[in-house]
Chains A and B, each alone.
Chain A
Amino acid sequence: MLKYLIRRILSAIPVLFGITIIDYVIMSLAGNPLSMIQTAKVTKAAVEAKKAALGLDQPVYMQYLTWLKNLLHGNMGYSLQSYEPVSKIIGSHIAPTLLLMGVSLLIGFAIAIVFGVYAAVHKNEKTDYAIVTVSFLGISIPNFFLALILIYIFTIRLHILPSSGMTTQGTGANVSDTIVHMIMPVIVLSSYIAGSNIRYVRSSVLEILQKEYLITAKAKGIGQRKMILVHALKNALIPIITVLGMQIPVLFGGAVIVEQIFGWPGLGLITMNAILQRDYPVIMGVCLMTAIVVLAANLITDLIYALVDPTIQY
């Protein structure tokens, strides 16, 4: 197992390199950040000087290598806008994103499993149809739309939930305040997760229910509850874990939009701004972080596989 782990980590490194190169190339195609600030008032010479100062007069591959060199020294560069170290910017914003993502993932999956199993057991009954229909809604409603609806209902009409930020201005950070602020963004994110996974869970459980060992379990007289919760569920979760692993990068993307709408101070917010302002170092920093999180999530998924499925040995 350990050797497998080492092998995976080692093979992840060239992947990371590849990702950063591709990211840098795409980014450089988007244009020069300085073209944003060029106006009539700013002279060309000043722009050129700024360019040189920021090292933007170098050809793209040189810029990339410089960035890489700095990265290997632990320096992620400085924001072209605020001149703050990228590592500081990311560090202060990553926690809220992880919090939001993590909670949404857990709640979304919990809902998916509970309702997916229920729908499978009650296949083709009314409750099954109802659950599947609702799950379709969860996937089809664009998250920004759902967000706006929720804001309209709960903030504007009912005045019970705050619509932006992570904490109420002025008060100290405390847990219940954060939770209240999290309610709507989590609903938006987890409705998508729940919606898309209910059907996976349902079909996975249905497939397991056809298996011979479920008939053996029934023939032993252990009762339906045990059959579903012990014999079926454990097997059904195995393919679900793959799906979970695949949803994490999707979540990253979805979180960007949701964070914008709810003013959630996470990575999504700064990423959007960095993109619009062509703040290369910040963009690269976020890309790198995202890549690491996704690769780590894949690795952890595979390790969890080995824990749940005894036929897999690394």
Chain B
Amino acid sequence: MDPLLKIEDLNIAFYKNKTAVSKTKNVSFEVNKGEILCIVGESGCGKSITAMSVLGLLPQNASITSGKILFQNKNLLEMSQKQLDEIRGKDISMIFQDVMNSLNPVLTIGYQLIESITKHLGYEKSKAKEHAISLLTRVGLKEASSVMKKFPHMLSGGMRQRVMIAMALANNPALLIADEPTTALDVTIQLQIIELLKGLQKDLGMSILLITHDMGVVAELADRVIVMYAGECVESSDVKTLFENPSHPYTKALLAAIPDASKDSSIELKSIPGSVPIDYDVISGCRFYDRCQFASSACKENQKMHEIEKEHFVRCMLFLNAKDE
């Protein structure tokens, strides 16, 4: 069964004063039908721009230097803007991190919902309105018809994110891309949104590509996980395996560094020495080298992904003995 979304060797570069700085290096992964794939990593690792590149939403100073983005076996990078517009909001939808600024402040909620519905489903206005109201109810907003007439600033952060989700689901997409959807929200609202996404995903059977830096969200939602560091995928596996058997030194260090409320507070947090290299694009070999406790000279070579157990890949020479990808 072909994967719904397949990213192959994606390389994205940012241009600063005419010099190209590579932000992702040969990023490859797949999202299968009906699954939730989480890409987890810290700020600057390239996970957000990878997500933005799928729908062609990169800023003007960024471009894709090589690679393929295959959606239902069609390369999105070879499509015109018009063709992409047919897919955007219909087959692939996206919700964003900054809920406070992601809705147009001078247009009503109703307008912003209906314009997407009429464009892609071709409904006439009254039918579109009905559909919009049912969507708002579905995402848990009470008094949906009065919400339709409101402007975004009249809604709280949690409500706005629900509206965004409603907009994203309006045309029954096959894939939902969620870029840190809960980061800006309070923890109790975050839980509400996580439960909402869980429920919707089950009911609609859609796939979700979820970008996050929060391992807790990964534990709650993911079926499979990709860990990214400094522009590269360093580990990929299903979620249970990742927490039970984290293999890449970065993954291990990350999990050890996260303060867990359920753990005893006297256990000291193991912080990762150093920090993410700013100009990581010029580093040859493993980019975690400086901060890794297992580093050796072999790490200076470009690392490959090794499959250490079924569907569990790690980009680290420590696992050279295992089957190569």
Contact = CB atoms under 8 A, between A and B. Distances in A.
A binds B: yes
Interface in A271-314: 308-311
A219 B88 contact: yes
Contacts of A226: 115
A122 to B, nearest CB: 12
B119 A221 contact: yes
A235 B104 CA distance: 8
Contacts of B85: 221-223
B83 to A, nearest CB: 10
Contacts, number: 78
A230 B115 CA distance: 11
Nearest to A238: B106
Interface in A229-267: 230-231, 234-235, 238
B116 interface: yes
A212 B102 contact: yes
Contacts of A235: 104-106
A241 B292 CA distance: 57
Given A221-B119, A221-B120, A216 B153 contact: no
Given A216-B96, A310-B153, A311-B153, A222 B104 contact: no
- Looking at B94, B104, B151, B153, which has the most chain A CB atoms within 10 Å of its CB? B104
B115 A216 contact: no
B105 A311 contact: yes
B88 A310 contact: no
B49 to A, nearest CB: 12
B88 A221 contact: yes
Given A213-B105, A308-B106, A311-B105, A222 B98 contact: no
B249 to A, nearest CB: 35
Contact of A216 (B90, B102, B106): B102
A220 B84 contact: no
B86 interface: yes
A56 to B, nearest CB: 56
Interface string A80-91: 000000000000
A218 B57 contact: yes
Contact of A213 (B86, B103, B116, B119): B103
Interface residues of B, number: 30
Contacts of B167: 216, 220
Given A215-B96, A310-B151, A220 B116 contact: yes
A161 interface: no
Nearest to B90: A221
B135 interface: no
Contact of B55 (A212, A213, A219, A223): A219
Interface of A is mostly: helix
Contact of B105 (A215, A223, A310): A310
B174 to A, nearest CB: 14
B106 A309 contact: yes
Nearest to A218: B57
A21 interface: no
B122 to A, nearest CB: 13
A221 B84 contact: yes
Nearest to B151: A310
A213 B102 contact: yes
A211 interface: yes
A222 B106 contact: no
A153 B64 CA distance: 54
A224 interface: yes
Contacts of B119: 220-223
Interface string A195-215: 000000000000000011101
A204 to B, nearest CB: 13
Contacts of B151: 310-311
Interface in B136-180: 151, 153, 164, 167
A238 B81 CA distance: 29
Contacts of A234: 106-107
Contact of A222 (B102, B116, B153): B116
A280 B88 CA distance: 68
Nearest 4 interchain pairs by C-beta: A221-B88, A220-B89, A221-B89, A221-B85
Interface of B: 55, 57, 81-82, 84-90, 93-94, 96, 98, 101-107, 115-116, 119-120, 151, 153, 164, 167
Given A222-B119, A230-B107, 18 more contacts: A213-B102, A215-B57, A216-B167, A219-B55, A219-B94, A220-B93, A220-B167, A221-B116, A221-B119, A222-B116, A223-B82, A223-B119, A231-B107, A235-B104, A235-B106, A308-B106, A309-B106, A311-B105
Interface of A: 211-213, 215-224, 226, 230-231, 234-235, 238, 308-311
25 contacts: A212-B98, A213-B102, A213-B103, A216-B103, A216-B167, A217-B104, A218-B57, A218-B88, A219-B55, A219-B57, A221-B84, A221-B85, A221-B87, A221-B89, A221-B116, A221-B119, A222-B89, A222-B115, A223-B82, A226-B115, A230-B107, A230-B115, A234-B106, A310-B106, A311-B105
